[in-house]
A and B are shown apart, each in its own frame.
Chain A
Amino acid sequence: MTYYLTKAQEALGQRAHAFADEFLDPIAAELDRGLVFPKSLIGQLAAQDFLGLAAPEQSGVDGAGFVGHVEVIQALSRSCPAIASIVNNHALAVYAIAYWGSEAQKKQYLPALIKGEKLGAVAIQETGPFLGVGGDALLATRQGGGFVLNGTKAFVRNAGAADVYLVFGIIRPEPDNTRLTCFIVDAGTSGLAVGPRLDTMGLKACPVAHLTFKSVAVAEAGVMGSEHNASGMASQILSAGAVAEGAQTVGIARAAAEHAADYAKHRVQFRHPIARLQAIQTLLAEIVSDSHVAWLGVQHAARLIEDNAPFEPEAAMVKLFLGRFGSKMLVDAIQIEGGMGICEVVPKHISGALPLARMFRDIAGTTLLDAPDDFPEKIIAAGIA
C-alpha cells in the first residue's frame, strides 16, 4: 500500500531496497567489525540520489524530499543500519545548510554534499549537563572579523570521515550567552582534531568520536544563520534526526520480524513449526504492530518536514514511542530464535545467516536520548500545555 507516496518517493524506496539487497547485505557482517569506513559506498549512495533528499530543492530529484529520505533510510536499515547512520548524519548537515545557509554557503557546500564528493556531519552534543556548561564546552571568542573556537564536541557521528562539520557553540563573553551559534568548519582546519574512534555497541561502520578544537579560526562567513540564533536550529536538527532515526528503527525491526518469522516457519519443536504456536504468533504480531504504528508516525512527521510545517512535537512522539518499543522489538525477535538468535557467528553445525545479534546491538543506538534529561515528553507537553 503505497498509494499515498508520490511516484518519485515510491521509486526511491524501491531503489534503496534493491541497493541494500545487492550491496549492503553481503558486507553488513564485515562492516560490523568496525575496522574500515566504507568510503567507496558514499559515491554509490550519491549516484542513487540518496544523499540530498533532505534538501528537496537542490536534490535533483523531483517530488521527493524528507518523505523520500525516510523511505531510503528505512530500506537501507533493513540490511545495514550503520550505513543508514552515516547517511542520516550527513543528511542533517544537508538539511541544515539548505534550511538556514546563506546563498554563498549553499552554493559552496550543497552540490558537493549531494554528489557525495564531501561527507557532512553535525556536532551538537557535549558531555556537560547542558550545552555550553562544563569544562570542555565548545566556546567561541571574537577575533578580528571572525571567531576562534575552543572546546570539545562529543560523540560526533561520521567523525574523521566527514569533510565538513556543523559545529554548535556559544560565543563568550556576550550579554546573551546561553544561545548557540552554528559554525561551518571544514575538516582540515588547523586546530581541529578528531579523537580516537569510540567503541560503539553497534552501528559500527559509522565512526563516532569526540572533536577537539584548539584555537580553530572560523571566518565571519562561516557562521550559519545569524549569531546566537542556533538554539532552535539545533533542536530542529535533532528533531529531524529523530524522525530519520525512527525510520532506521522501523527498518531494523521489520527486517528482524521477517527473519524471525522465517525462522519460526522452519524451526520444529513439539512436532510442528513453532510459527504455529500462539506464543510465537503473539510476539511477531506485536513487533509488526509496533513497527507499523511507528512507521505511520515517521511518515507523518516526514511529511510535515517536507511541507515546512512545525513538526517537533510529532518528531518527539516518534522518539518517545520508539524509546519504549524500539529495542523491545529486537528483544522479542531474538526470543523467537532462542539460542540461534544470540549467535554472533553462525555455528558450524547450522546453515544460514543469523543477523539478529547485530541488529540488537544496532537498534539500541537508534533510540538514545541526546542527554539524560532531554526527554521527548517535554516537547510534546510543551505543545499541548
Chain B
Amino acid sequence: MNSEQAAIKQAAKDFVAKNIIPHAAEYDKSGEFHGYLLEAAKPSKIFAMAVPKEYGGLGYSPLTQALVLEEWGYGCCAMATTLGASILSMESVLIAGNDDQKRRYCKPMLTAGIGAFALTEPAAGSDAGAGEATAVKSGDDYILNGPKCWITNGGVAAVLVVFAATDVAKGAKGLSAFIVEPTMPGFIMGDREEKLGLRSSNTVYFMMKDLRVPAANLIGKEGDGMRIAMETLDVARPTIGALAVGLAQRCLDECVKHLHQRYPAKTYPGETLQFELADMAIQIEGARQAQHHVMRLREANKPFSTESAIAKTLGTASAMNVTTQAMRLMGSHAYTSEFGKFMRDAKVMQIYEGTNQIQRLVIARSVLAPPKVAAPAMKVGAK
C-alpha cells in the first residue's frame, strides 16, 4: 500500500465510522433503502471511484477500490453492496462499450447516481443463458420484453445494464447487453424483496414490456452479451471478497471487544478460545491476500478469472465461518444484538454474483485443464 492508498483507506474508514456504522442497524431492521448515503457520499465522489479520470471520475486502481470496499464492508455490507453493484454494472460498459456509452453511463455516478446489472431471471439463475427476455430490432431501436429478478439496485438505479436475447435460437450466444434507463416507457418496477441479509440493499423484480431502447445503447455487438457478463463478473467477484473480508474483520473486532469487556486481564481466556480467534484471523488474512492478489493481476494485465473465483469463494466462506463462530462464542450477547446482521449478510454473499458452487466450477475447470508445459515424470524406485 502506498501513501496515497493509505490516505484513501483512512478517508474511507472515517466516512464509514461517521456515516455508515451509526445507521446500519436501523436500516437493516426496516429493510428500507439507505438513500441518505448517496447524499452523504456525494462530496467525495466515491461512487465514481471506478470511473476513469477521463470521464471525470476518481480513476482508482482495482486495489485502491478494494481497500475502500473493505472499509465499507466493515461498516455495512448492504450499503457496500450498493456501491459495489453500481461499479459492477459500469464495468460492463467500460469493458465493451464505446466512448459515448462510457461517458453517458459514468455521468450519473459523478453525482452519486448508481447503476444496476440485470442478468438474472426467474428461469435463469446459475444457468444465465436460459433467460426469456428478448430484444428485437425495430428500425433504430430494440424492443425489449421479459422479466428480471434479484436485481441489486434495480429500484434505485439511474442507469442499468440489461441482458436480453437478440437471437433466442443461439441460447447464451444470442445474448446482448443494453443500456436501459428506468424512466423509459415499458419499464415496470416490481416489489422490493424482503431478504434474510443485506436487507437495506435494494433488490427488485422488474418487467420489460415493449421497452424501446435506442440501438445506440447496444453494448458491443449483438451476441456479445454473455462474454460481457462473464468478464464483468470476473472483475466484480473479488470486490465481493473485499466486502466479505471487511465483514469478517468487523466480526472478529467486535468479538474481541466483547471478550475484553467480559474478561478482566487476569482471567484471560484459555487456549481453546485463543485458537478460535487465531483461526478467524487466519481465514480473514488469507481471504484478504487472495483478493488483493487478483487486483494486482488485473493491474498487471494478467489473466485473473480463476483467482477471481477463488477470492469470492474464500472471502464469503471465511465471512460465513467467522460470523458463525463469533456468534457461537458470544452466545446470547450476540444473538440478542445487532450481531445477527453480520451472519445474515454473510449468507447472502455466498449466493449473489455467482453462487460459490458456480465459482467452484470455474476453479475446477482451471484445475483440471491439461498443463501447458508437461511436468517431468516422477522418478519411481531406486535413486
Contact = CB atoms under 8 A, between A and B. Distances in A.
Interface stretch (B6-14, B107-115, B293-301, B349-357): B349-357
Contacts, number: 144
Contacts of A208: 332, 336
B147 A367 contact: no
Contacts of A323: 328
A268 interface: yes
A219 interface: no
A323 B329 CA distance: 10
Given A199-B336, A201-B340, A377-B272, A367 B328 contact: yes
A127 B333 CA distance: 8
B320 interface: yes
Contacts of A371: 331
Contacts of B336: 155, 198-201, 208
Given A334-B347, A335-B355, A361-B196, A129 B332 contact: no
Interface in B110-130: 120, 122-127, 130
Given A198-B336, A335-B355, A360-B196, A372 B273 contact: yes
A185 B309 CA distance: 57
Contact of B351 (A155, A339, A345): A339
Nearest to A199: B336
A103 interface: no
B137 interface: no
A371 B120 CA distance: 43
Given A342-B348, A364-B340, A373 B273 contact: yes
A372 B262 contact: yes
B331 A368 contact: yes
A155 B356 CA distance: 36
B208 to A, nearest CB: 14
A1 interface: no
A201 B332 contact: no
A378 B272 contact: yes
Contact of A201 (B263, B320, B343): B343
B355 to A, nearest CB: 6
A144 interface: no
A347 B194 CA distance: 8
A36 B372 CA distance: 65
A375 B361 CA distance: 37
B127 to A, nearest CB: 4
Contact of A344 (B124, B195, B324, B333): B195
B264 A129 contact: yes
Interface in B334-373: 334-336, 339-340, 343-344, 347-348, 350-352, 355-357, 360-361
A342 B328 contact: no
B267 interface: yes
Contact of B193 (A200, A270, A347): A347
B147 A349 contact: yes
Given A361-B344, A375-B272, A368 B332 contact: yes
A323 B328 CA distance: 7
Interface in A115-133: 125, 127-130
Given A331-B350, A335-B356, A339-B149, A364 B125 contact: no
Contact of B194 (A199, A343, A364): A343
Given A199-B336, A279-B360, A368 B347 contact: no
B54 interface: no
Q: Which residue, A127, A344, A350, has most C-beta atoms of chain B within 10 A? A: A344
B352 to A, nearest CB: 8
Interface string A99-117: 0000000000000000000
Nearest to B207: A349
A248 interface: no
A228 interface: no
A328 interface: yes
B118 to A, nearest CB: 14
Contact of A368 (B327, B348, B361): B327
Contacts of B43: none
Nearest to A274: B126
B105 interface: no
A344 B332 contact: no
Contacts of B331: 155, 368-372
A129 B126 CA distance: 47
A338 B329 contact: no
Nearest to B255: A372
Interface string B191-216: 10111110000000100000000000
B196 A338 contact: no
A154 B273 CA distance: 22
Q: Which residue, A334, A369, A372, has most C-beta atoms of chain B within 10 A? A: A372
B123 A279 contact: no
Given A339-B150, A373-B273, A269 B130 contact: yes
Nearest to A356: B196
Nearest to B332: A155
B269 interface: yes
Interface in B257-314: 258-259, 262-264, 267, 269-270, 272-273
A348 interface: yes
A365 interface: yes
B136 interface: no
Nearest to A339: B150
Interface string A324-335: 000110010011
Contact of B205 (A347, A368, A373, A375): A347
A335 B351 contact: yes
A335 B262 CA distance: 35
A339 B340 contact: no
B351 A338 contact: yes
Contacts of A370: 331
9 shortest A-B CB distances, which residue pairs?
A201-B340, A155-B332, A198-B336, A345-B194, A357-B196, A269-B127, A368-B331, A344-B194, A342-B196
Given A344-B195, A357-B195, 19 more contacts: A129-B262, A155-B333, A201-B336, A201-B344, A208-B336, A327-B343, A335-B355, A338-B126, A341-B196, A342-B347, A343-B196, A345-B193, A347-B191, A349-B122, A349-B190, A360-B344, A367-B328, A368-B334, A373-B270
29 contacts: A128-B262, A155-B336, A200-B335, A201-B344, A202-B340, A208-B332, A270-B127, A271-B130, A331-B320, A331-B324, A331-B347, A335-B350, A338-B125, A338-B355, A339-B125, A339-B352, A342-B196, A343-B196, A344-B196, A349-B147, A350-B122, A357-B195, A364-B327, A364-B335, A368-B334, A369-B331, A372-B259, A372-B262, A373-B273
